[in-house]
Structure formats: C-alpha cells, structure tokens
Amino acid sequence: MSHTTKRKSAIKDLPTLKKAVDRIPGAEYLGHGTAKQYSGSPVGHNFKLPGWSYPVSVDLATGECTFDNYGGRWGKEAVLDSLKQGYAIEAAKAKAEAEGHTMEEIQLEDGSVKLVIPLGGADGYVAEGGGDGDGWGV
Amino acid sequence: MAATGPRIEITVSPTGETDTKVFGVEGTSCRKLSAGWEALFGAVISSSDTVEAYEEPHDVEIKSGQK
C-alpha cells in the first residue's frame, strides 16, 4: 500500500527553496538525491520538515512535490503549507531585490503575510497621473 | 499608515496561495508588471481589473495558487 502523495507546486528555484526551509525552525535541506520514503524513493531536492517521518522531495523542473505523510499521521500538512508560504515570500523578495525595490513584510492576524513593494519608477513603470506628490518620484 | 503611491501588494495565505494587487500603474505597464508576478507564483486562478477601495485606476488583481 502506498501513501505517497505527489502535488504540483510553484517551487522551482533552489536558493529560494533553501531560504524557505530556513524560515521553518527545525526544518533542514538535505540536498539532491534519492529520498527514502515509506513506499517510494523519489529523486529530487529533499528536505526534512519538523515532525515529519520522511523527507519531502521536490523536482525543481516541474515543481512537483512528493511526500509520504500518511494522511497527516506522519507529518502535518500545515508545515508543508508554511514552507509554500515561505517560498512565495522569498520568491517575491528575490524578485523585488533583483528589480531594485524594497519589500516590507507584514504579518497578518489570520496567518497570512502581506508584502508591500513600492515602485520607485526606475523600472519604467509609470504612475497614473504622474504620481501623487508623496515622494515616490514617478 | 497605509501605503500610498505606485506599488505591488501581495497577500500570501498560510497555504502559500497569493493574491497580488498592482496599484497606481498605467494599463499597459500594469499588465506587463502583472505578468511577471504571475509567472513567479504559479498557475493563475483568476485575474481581473479592480478599482475598488482605492482611488488609483488601472489596478489589477491576480490570484495564484500552488496546490
């Protein structure tokens, strides 16, 4: 009987994945190779999540995550969700920095995170009406 | 203090789904900008123009998910 689950994700960048793993206390990036799961041996970039019995493996080419948590008995899916949240945050941060923007990260009460990226105009984007005089310079 | 001026606001849910809003950017540039963020977060669930709650026109809202 197999408990392995495969799920599509947006995880396709290794440095961003490593940063997302680092955001979770107790999580650890294990490297690329064959992950030993209960009933499968997927090949990919593998990481251990806190409270999970088997490592999660992700194929960065497809974004496909393979994990073996036996419907939550061997690892809470909420932890994997928080990794996906962290990945989205770190991906946004990397893109903002690459484009010369800053990014503010605001924790919301419902567990969501709001990211605010001011556009300074250096990238050619033009504000409607030529700016609102608040110092954004566009 | 609420953010003002041209900006991108992204809300990332606890499950990693994203809701992206672009404010204060003209239509064509807004579309170009939005497309770049769509690619970053994966499959788009829905995309629509929005002007509610903000005075700046030509805002675009994008919802993306990873599941």
Q: Using one digit for the tens of pLDDT, what is the confidence trace for A13-72?
A: 999 999 999 999 999 999 999 999 988 899 999 999 999 999 999 999 988 899 999 888
Burial of residue A127 (number of CB atoms within 10 Å: 0-12, 13-18, 19+): buried
A84/A110 Cα distance (integer angstroms): 16
Q: Is B25 on the interface with A (CB under 8 A)?
A: yes
Number of domains in chain B: 1
Lowest mean pLDDT among A8-17, A122-131, B33-42: A122-131
ipTM of the complex: 0.81
Position A81 scores a pLDDT of: 93
Instruction: Say whether pLDDT at A132 is over 90.
Output: no
Q: Is residue B46 part of a domain?
A: yes
In this structure, is residue B1 part of a structural domain?
Answer: no
Instruction: Walk across the sheet containing A56-59 and list its strands.
Output: A5-8, A64-67, A56-59, A43-48, A28-34
- Name the burial class of residue A2, with classes exposed (0-12), middle (13-18) and buried (19+) by CB atoms within 10 angstroms of its CB: exposed
Domain-located, residue B38 = yes
In a domain, B6, yes or no: no
Strand partners, B44: B64
Of A74 and A126, the one with more pLDDT: A74
Give the closest of A84, A119, A127 to B16, CB-based. Answer: A84
Which of A82-91, A115-124, B43-52 has the lowest average pLDDT?
B43-52
Q: Which two tokens stand for residue B1?
A: 């203090």
Tell me whether B53 touches chain A (CB under 8 Å).
no
Give the pLDDT mean for B4-20: 89
Asked if the Cβ–Cβ distance from B26 to A92 is below 8 Å, we say no
Question: Which carries the bigger pLDDT value, residue A138 or residue B1?
Answer: B1
Output the pLDDT for position B55: 44
Mean pLDDT of chain A: 86
**Can you name the residues that pair with B8 across neighbouring β-strands?**
A117, B22
Q: Does A97 touch chain B (CB under 8 A)?
A: no
Count how many residues are written for chain A: 138
Tokens of B14: 């606890």
User: CB distance A116–B7 less than 8 Å?
Assistant: yes
Residue B5 within any structural domain of the chain? no
Beta-carbon contacts of A43 under 8 Å, excluding residues fewer than 6 positions away, are A32, A33, A34, A35, A57, A59
pTM of the entire predicted model: 0.80
Q: How confident is the model at residue A135 (pLDDT cuts 50, 70, 90)?
A: very low
Domain holding B34, by residue range, is: 12-64
Residue A113 has pLDDT above 90, yes or no: yes
More confident of the two residues A30 and A138 = A30
Q: Which tens digit of pLDDT belongs to each residue from B21-58?
A: 888 887 777 778 877 887 788 765 555 555 443 444 45
In eight-state DSSP terms, residue A127 is B
Rounded to a whole number of angstroms, the distance from the CA of B32 to the nearest CA of chain A is 9
Residue corresponding to tokens 């948590």 = A69
Q: How many CA atoms lie within 13 A of B43 on its CB side?
A: 8
